[in-house]
């Protein structure tokens, strides 16, 4: 029978829509209201010191919209006006300096796109398949284009002659919020590619991402990307503060723990089909898609299996991998309607390939919490529904 959506004149084809004044700053259309950050309540004691997850299962491309990019606060997202913002650089510098926000906008600017992944992303999956959805297993990640100033430019302004040999020096970075979340970063990294950002995806940072200024530490764990950045101290030693000793250290099977595990290793995940993005169209053409990234360089390739790893096919990269940024991959298949065990594994330009969960467990045991970059399995059933599983 003819489709009434075509044969009958619809309201939207006859009447009028909203005027240009209806939404001075727009939100997504109501039909997309399920594409939101979600929280896992049992993970933390309080939402003020907690984390939520990016709905990666419902997004495409590589840029994460700020409005649904995951948040992690240790003492809540604060409101700090640009007028009240101060950045101090001190310690082993020639002239300790204070900058206002307006000062920062006068330095030569850079634009770079990077992923930010929480070190705990996929951390709930060490002991077994636990959370049913790519948002929950892999959603502590976002990818934005940052505009700001290279940290080297700011450190040069303060002068580093007093620092002597850079090799054994550090910076300690601290936020303005009550958690005063501070981390030590080797000076060499700070001078290499770290930047301070005040815009993301073209507009001001959101409050929850550190407005007006945050640190960007390409390829390294998200906890280092200090929000509401207020202080940079050049030091002769690591401060060993709470976020680099009691947290963000990775306990091995024998009880010793790795520290200073800053870099995020190569990792990928199929975002669709997945538990929150089941196949609803039955057999036939199917787009399998996902994201890949590496903190050590650019993604050079992604392999996808639909049979749990018996055979692997090379996926198509939507664009060539960029260093320390998300890469989108696609595998266009003709689904025969039978169950699948879908996995992805990525390669980066250091020659590293994403390991299986068991390979990681063999080295680290089950208590590492952080840095779980294992291959993820989705069991896609004949109905098109999918579940988080582990396979032999």
Partner 1 sequence: ADLGLGRAALPAEIAAWDKDVSPDGTGLPVGSGSVEDGEMIFSETCASCHGEFAEGVDNWPKLAGGMDTLDHEDPTKTVGSYWPYLSTTFDYVRRSMPFGAAQTISDDDVYAMVAYILYSNDLVEEDFVLSQDNFLEVEMPNADGFIIDDRPQTEYSQFTSDTACYDNCKDSVEITMRAAVLDVTPEETSSPAPALAPAAVVETAPQEPAVEVAPLEPVDIVASFDADLAAKGEKVFKKCKACHQVGEDAKNKTGPILNGVIGAPIAHVDGFKYSKDFLAAKEQGRMWDEALLAEFLAKPKAVFKRTKMSFAGLKKDSEIASVIEYLKSVSQ
**What residues from 274 to 293 belong to the interface with partner 1 (CB under 8 A)?**
275-278, 280
Residues 330-359 that bind partner 1 (CB under 8 A): 341, 345, 347, 350-355, 359
- Judged by beta carbon, residue 93 or residue 144, the one nearer partner 1 is 93
Q: How far apart are CA 84 and CA 14, in angstroms?
A: 51
Residue pair 360/125 in contact (Cβ under 8 Å)? The answer is no
Nearest Cα to 53, choosing from 114, 115, 138, 112?
A: 138
Instruction: Specify the stretch interacting with partner 1 by CB under 8 A; choose among 20-28, 153-161, 195-203, 319-327.
Output: 153-161
Residues 6+ apart with CB under 8 A from 111: 145, 146, 147
Instruction: Specify the stretch interacting with partner 1 by CB under 8 A; choose among 59-67, 161-169, 170-178, 213-221.
Output: 170-178
Instruction: Specify the stretch interacting with partner 1 by CB under 8 A; choose among 28-36, 109-117, 139-147, 220-228.
Output: 28-36
- Judged by beta carbon, residue 87 or residue 205, the one nearer partner 1 is 87
- Judged by beta carbon, residue 144 or residue 233, the one nearer partner 1 is 233
Number of residues that bind partner 1 (CB under 8 A): 113
- Judged by beta carbon, residue 8 or residue 311, the one nearer partner 1 is 311
Instruction: Name the helix (H) or strand (E) containing 99.
Output: strand 97-100
Instruction: Specify the stretch interacting with partner 1 by CB under 8 A; choose among 62-70, 232-240, 315-323, 328-336.
Output: 232-240
Nearest Cα to 85, choosing from 222, 210, 224, 223?
A: 210
Residues 47-106 that bind partner 1 (CB under 8 A): 47-49, 58, 74-76, 88-90, 95-100, 103, 106
Q: Is residue 46 involved in binding partner 1 (CB under 8 A)? A: yes
Residue pair 53/70 in contact (Cβ under 8 Å)? The answer is yes
- Judged by beta carbon, residue 48 or residue 287, the one nearer partner 1 is 48
- Judged by beta carbon, residue 72 or residue 345, the one nearer partner 1 is 345
Q: How far apart are CA 388 and CA 343, in angstroms?
A: 11
Strand 284-293 and strand 327-335: the pairing is antiparallel
Q: How far apart are CA 233 and CA 255, in angstroms?
A: 32
Site map for partner 1, 233-272, x if CB under 8 A? x-x-xxxxxx--xx--x-x-xxxxxxxxxxx-x-------
Residues 287-326 that bind partner 1 (CB under 8 A): 300-301, 303, 307-313
Q: Is residue 128 involved in binding partner 1 (CB under 8 A)? A: yes
Q: Is residue 179 involved in binding partner 1 (CB under 8 A)? A: yes
Beta bridge partners of 49: 46
Nearest Cα to 52, choosing from 34, 33, 70?
A: 70
Instruction: Kindly calculate the radius of gyration of the chain based on its CA atoms and give it in whole angstroms.
Output: 23
**Calculated CA dihedral for residues 144, 149, 150, 154, nearest 10 degrees:** -150
- Judged by beta carbon, residue 261 or residue 322, the one nearer partner 1 is 261
Q: How far apart are CA 97 and CA 94, in angstroms?
A: 9
Longest dimension (CA), the chain: 81
Q: Is residue 10 involved in binding partner 1 (CB under 8 A)? A: no
- Judged by beta carbon, residue 10 or residue 314, the one nearer partner 1 is 314
Instruction: Specify the stretch interacting with partner 1 by CB under 8 A; choose among 129-137, 200-208, 319-327, 328-336.
Output: 129-137
CB of 315 to partner 1, least distance (A): 12
Beta bridge partners of 272: 289
């Amino acid at each position: 029978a003819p489709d009434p959506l075509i044969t009958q004149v619809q309201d939207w084809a006859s009447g009028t829509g909203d005027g240009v004044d209806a939404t001075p700053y727009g939100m997504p259309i109501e039909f997309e209201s399920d594409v939101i950050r979600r929280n896992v309540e049992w993970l933390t004691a309080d939402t003020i010191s907690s984390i939520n997850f990016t709905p990666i299962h419902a997004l495409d491309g590589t840029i994460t919209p700020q409005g649904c990019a995951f948040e992690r606060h240790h003492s809540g997202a604060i409101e700090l006006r640009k007028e009240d913002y101060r950045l101090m650089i001190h310690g082993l510098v020639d002239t300790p300096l204070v900058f206002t926000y307006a000062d920062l906008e006068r330095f030569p600017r850079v634009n770079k796109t990077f992923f930010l992944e929480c070190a705990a992303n996929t951390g709930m999956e060490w002991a077994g398949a636990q959370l049913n959805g790519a948002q929950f297993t892999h959603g502590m990640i976002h990818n934005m284009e940052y505009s700001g100033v290279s940290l080297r430019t700011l450190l040069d302004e303060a002068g580093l002659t007093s620092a002597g040999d850079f090799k054994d020096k550090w910076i300690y970075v601290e936020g303005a919020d009550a958690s005063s979340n501070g981390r030590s970063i080797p000076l060499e990294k700070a001078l290499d590619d770290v930047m301070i950002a005040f815009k993301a995806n073209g507009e001001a940072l959101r409050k929850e991402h550190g407005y007006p200024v945050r640190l960007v530490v390409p390829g390294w764990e998200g906890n280092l990307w200090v929000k509401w950045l207020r202080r940079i101290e050049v030091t002769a030693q690591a401060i060993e503060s709470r976020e680099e000793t009691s947290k963000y250290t990775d306990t091995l099977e024998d009880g010793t723990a790795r520290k200073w595990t800053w870099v995020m290793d190569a990792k990928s995940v199929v975002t669709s089909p997945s538990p929150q993005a089941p196949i609803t169209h039955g057999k036939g053409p199917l787009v399998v898609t996902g994201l890949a990234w590496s903190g050590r360089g650019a993604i050079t390739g992604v392999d996808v299996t639909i049979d749990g790893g018996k055979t692997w096919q090379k996926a198509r990269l939507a664009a060539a991998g960029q260093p320390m940024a998300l890469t989108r991959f696609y595998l266009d298949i003709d689904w025969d309607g039978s169950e699948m065990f879908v996995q992805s594994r990525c390669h980066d330009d250091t020659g590293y390939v994403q390991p299986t969960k068991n390979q990681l467990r063999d080295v680290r045991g089950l208590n590492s919490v952080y840095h779980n970059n294992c291959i993820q399995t989705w069991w896609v059933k004949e109905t098109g529904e999918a579940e988080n599983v582990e396979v032999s």
